[in-house]
Structure 1
Amino acid sequence: MAFPRTIVVGGGLAGLSATHTLLERGKSVLLLDKKPSLGGNSVKASSGINGAHTAAQQALGIQDSVEAYYTDTAASAGTDLARPKLITALTSNSASALSWLTNDFGVDLSIVSRLGGHSAARTHRDKSGAPGWAITAALMKKLTALAETDGARVEVIKGARVVKLLEEEGAVVGVEYETGASTQTARGNVILATGCASFSLCTVSLKQKPAVATQQTFSATGLLATHRPDLLSLSTTNGDHATGDGVRLATSLTSLAPAALCDLDQVQVHPTGFVDPANPAAKTKFLAAEALRGVGGLLIDGKGVRFVDEVQRRDVVTKAMQKVEGGEGRGPVRLVLSEEAVGEVKKHCDFYVSKNLMKRYSDAKEFSADTGIPLEAIVETFASHGKYASGGEVDPFGKKTFHNATYNPDTPLHVAIITPVVHYTMGGLSIDSSGHVLSSSSAPIPGLFAAGEVIGGVHGQNRLAGSSLLEAVVFGRIAGTSAAE
């Protein structure tokens, strides 16, 4: 059945990408977001967005290919959980997604880094130090301008909580939503772009209507408690908006077969969340961007000794950190950056220092005096890392990629205490490679599409750094195209 407009639920990068794609195809859009402002978790992303065989890579002489990116993603996902069609959709559309951001929205993605688990430098960012904000803000700005000049084609309603999907004649035909005390309905194809699948601070049950988070704790009835109770003791980087609305809505269909879910036990624990010295037990923590390790940051234990390849995959680094912090009792873990490393992510570091999450020391001696870590251990760690980088010795942790590898104990250092944090959900709604939400019988649910972190199956057991923003853009565009057709 034909509808005058498509309804996009969620105003993060996936929802914005879907909205702009629909508008480009001559469609009308109603964008609903329950928060007073758009952006979601997308604005927090600080490492960058992946792309293979991009214009920026070619300009910098970086050799990469879609095939290599596919291989890295499949290896990270794991043999049992890698889904070739979804990985192909992600990786084969990466270069065009970045071109779209650059050409249509003026986003600068000229800086390219190699992060953990990647065989080439392919994580793009701008010079601001906040690529998630730069990308998402560019799409928000253009959408705001369009809404002001062509309100008949695009309407944005903030503070609108979608509470129900409307079903009719074997299809999803719209939504019911609340704005304050008012309940309204809107008809159209629906794209769910609601973000994190119920693993935030106020994680909710699938059968429980979510409420705004008011307490700093995980819900005892939520998906995290059900599928990964071992993670309840950790903090999170997610905001209070990430309450799994899309999962709840799609699995609550009545006349239609409810949506299928996948990989709900696959939750990414990011290795580096900042420990705020003023509130070390805080349940919500700032993310220490993966870019900090990508530019040459070192991880050391409480005795000043390295214990892992810093640019390994996130799951590998997290496991090593938890071993150090837990059974071996060698914590806390610190992230250390040289002046050369800081020079590449200066705006990141300036921000972290301003928030008292990172501290600058004039040299290793001052660092040692402040922390009690033996100066000799720090000096030895720096010297041995330099030998591994030069090829004089083999790194015992298998590190082969070195960047800004020389650490001089007589020059300034930036240091932060870090700990693993619940960061991303690889599980969520099952979709096909066209963005259709699938039912329990693996059939597309007519009129229902999804994109972004609410979907599952793209990353398997582990998401590579830089692939979350890409997933939002690629599958937002795919869902928008499919809904338009």
Structure 2
Amino acid sequence: MAFSRNQSLFFILTLVLAVLLVNWLQPKEIDMNVSQTRTIVVGGGLAGLSAAHTLIQHGAQVLLLDKKPSLGGNSMKASSGINGAGTEAQSSLGVSDTVEAFTADTTSSAGQLARPDLIHALTSNSAESLSWLSSNFSIDLSLVSLLGGHSVARTHRGRGPPPGFAITSALMKKLDTLPAAEVIKSAHVVRLLEANGRVTGVEYETNGETTSVQANAVIIATGGYAADYAPSGLLAKYRPDLLGLPTTNGDHATGDGHRLASSLHASLIDMDEIQVHPTGFVDPKDEGAKTKFLAAEALRGVGALLVDADGKRFVDEMERRDNVTKAMQEIIEQGKGPIRLLLNADAEKELKSHCDFYVSKGLMKRYENAADFAKDTGVPNAALIQTLAEHNKYASGELKDPFGKIHFHNGQFSPDGVLLASWVVPVVHYTMGGIHTDASARVLSAEGKPIPGLYAAGEVIGGVHGKNRLGGSSLLEAVVFGRLAGAAAAEAK
């Protein structure tokens, strides 16, 4: 039986479709350990959360991986505030500030390691980033204070919980409601995947299994290495002199992101620049604890004094962190410790939520007057009363402070008034060094060229702060560079 030409074509097409249908219906061999997503964010602190939200706002799908059972990282602990120049809150309070002034303060703090492009990215995006937090997440940032090293008040916080918790938890809660975001906790990223010179995903371990995930781009937001005390760790490699100090960091801060980026020959910069914060609380119940709770710089911002074992001041409490730390270490080396931080009732009222928390944890103690404090601690009462009287004269302008102090917020101390006191010591707090990125958060190779598909944000990056970070700029760095990384990664092809 002969077929016409049209019948032959019809028969062939039918046969082809039948074969395709059979193949499609056959069970496929699926690798359950390989999945796909558009963009991967490694790390669930404020930088990673800011990147994830920005990606979603740009229409991207996001997979966020964090090696801990819960998100938040060190961002949850930040308690002084977040910096912003030219903000609505400043304007409403009559504070005149500019990006240029913020840039000048940050450049001065960074010293000879100042990098203008990264500093400008931080400061020029500050007001917009605070507005983004307020408008998208209903975060209260209406209070503004002056911290050490700043020429004007620009560190923002709200009336409720400490700012790190308030900001980070708000972003965490909203992310849970977004269908474009998938979050996997207890997922330890162990390798970056690449093909043809481009980062194409990650490999992570969870529940004893290894999973490979493909992606358009990867953002590293794993934090610093200020808890990497291992004998072969990054602290031992770059700053062995700090191994004897306690840290304020959680045990997740071990430089994972630095090692991941280095495996692809990314550039690391300023790795020996590590900030020792002057004030970490000594818990009387566990004086030798390696991990200590931070005594926020906001405490000195509202007027706290630092006194030695003789009840005498020894530094301008509003100096930059590095200078206050140096003065404290000299006092301790001279055998004049312990050093105590003192607040009056006015300062307590202004920072009530902080103080209530510290008192509840046994890190701060309330005394009815100077005599009670002196009796309990062994500090000479007469010397302490003299110190307070002299400080009152400096605050009123009657005398000039010998340490150069010019900011005296809540500066009047009465020996008969309430004192809140804490034992404080210097603590390893923040790593200024890290992965080298450009001002768009693209990770740079040793040759200074962007590594396609790889971005970084938050404390894991280096060079933004140079030799010293200003208080209030850690949360800002996380938000600014998280948003920059998210925006850039959303455009990755």
Shorter-chain TM-score above 0.5: yes
Contact 1:56/1:109 (8 A) holds in 2 = yes
Query: Does structure 1 conserve the Cα–Cα contact (< 8 Å) formed by 2:37 and 2:213?
Result: no
Amino acid at match of 2:370: A
1:50-61 equivalent positions in 2, closer than 5 A: 50-61=83-94
Query: Alignment partner for residue 174 of structure 2, among 142, 159, 162?
Result: 142
Deviations 1:443-473 (A, max 9, x none): 1000000000000000000000000000000
Correspondence for 2:253: 242
Identity over the aligned pairs, expressed in percent? 65
- Identify the match of residue 371 of structure 1 among 361, 370, 377: 377
Provide, for residues 299-336 of structure 1, a one-character-per-residue CA deviation record: whole Å limited to 9, x for no partner.
0000000000001000000000000011x211110000
1:39 Cα deviation (Å)? 0.5
1:195 aligns with 2:227: no
**Match 2:462 to one of 456, 460, 466:** 456
TM-score (norm 1): 0.93
> Following TM superposition, by how much is the alpha carbon of 1:4 offset from its aligned partner in structure 2, in angstroms?
5.4
Secondary structure of the structure 1 residue equivalent to 2:176: helix
Q: Which of 273, 289, 309 is matched with 1:266 structurally? A: 273
State whether residues 199 and 222 of structure 1, in contact with CA within 8 Å, keep that contact through their aligned partners in structure 2: no
Query: Which residue of 2 is the match for residue 106 of structure 1?
Result: 138
The residue number in structure 1 matching 2:24 is none
Q: Report whether the alignment pairs 1:158 with 2:204.
A: no
In the TM superposition, 1:122-133 aligns within 5 A as 122-133=154-165
CA distance in 2, matches of 1:433, 1:374: 53
Q: What amino acid sits opposite 1:156 in the alignment?
A: V
1:282 maps to: 289
Corresponding letter in the other structure for 2:200: V
- Matching residue's letter, 1:40: G
Q: Is the 8 A contact 1:426 1:458 kept in 2?
A: yes
Describe the SS at the equivalent of 1:11. coil
> What TM-score results when the alignment is normalised by the length of structure 2?
0.91
- Structure-to-structure mapping, 1:403-422, within 5 angstroms: 403-422=409-428
Q: Distance in 1 between matches of 2:457 and 2:398?
A: 47
Q: How far apart, in 2, do the equivalents of 1:145 and 1:173 lie?
A: 27
- Cα distance, 1:87 vs. partner? 0.2
Tell me if structure 2 keeps the 8 A contact 1:129–1:345: no
2:200 aligns with 173
Establish whether residue 224 from structure 1 lines up as the match of residue 256 from structure 2.
Answer: no
SS at match of 1:235: coil
Spell out structure 1 runs of 4+ moving beyond 4 A: none
Q: Distance in 1 between matches of 2:95 and 2:134?
A: 19
Distance 1:418 1:4, change over 3 A: closer
Which of the numbers 301, 308, 311 marks the counterpart of 1:301? 308
Counterpart code for 1:226: K
Root-mean-square deviation (CA), in Å? 0.9
Higher Cα radius of gyration: 2
Output the CA distance in 2 between the equivalents of 1:29 and 1:228.
Answer: 36
Q: Aligned equivalents of 1:373 and 1:450: distance in 2?
A: 48
**Cα pair 2:66 2:188 within 8 Å, conserved:** yes
The one-letter code matched in structure 2 to 1:245 is D
What letter is aligned with 1:112?
V
Name the aligned partner's letter for residue 270 of structure 1.
H
Q: Is 1:22–2:22 an aligned residue pair?
A: no
Cα deviation 1:353-384 (Å, max 9, x = unaligned): 11111111010111111112111111111111
Separation in 2 of the partners of 1:367 and 1:18? 47
Work out the CA distance in 1 between the residues paired with 2:77 and 2:352: 17
Report the alpha carbon displacement of residue 112 of structure 1 after superposing the two structures with TM. 0.5
Q: Paired residue for 1:208?
A: none
Q: Residue in 1 aligned with 2:451?
A: 445
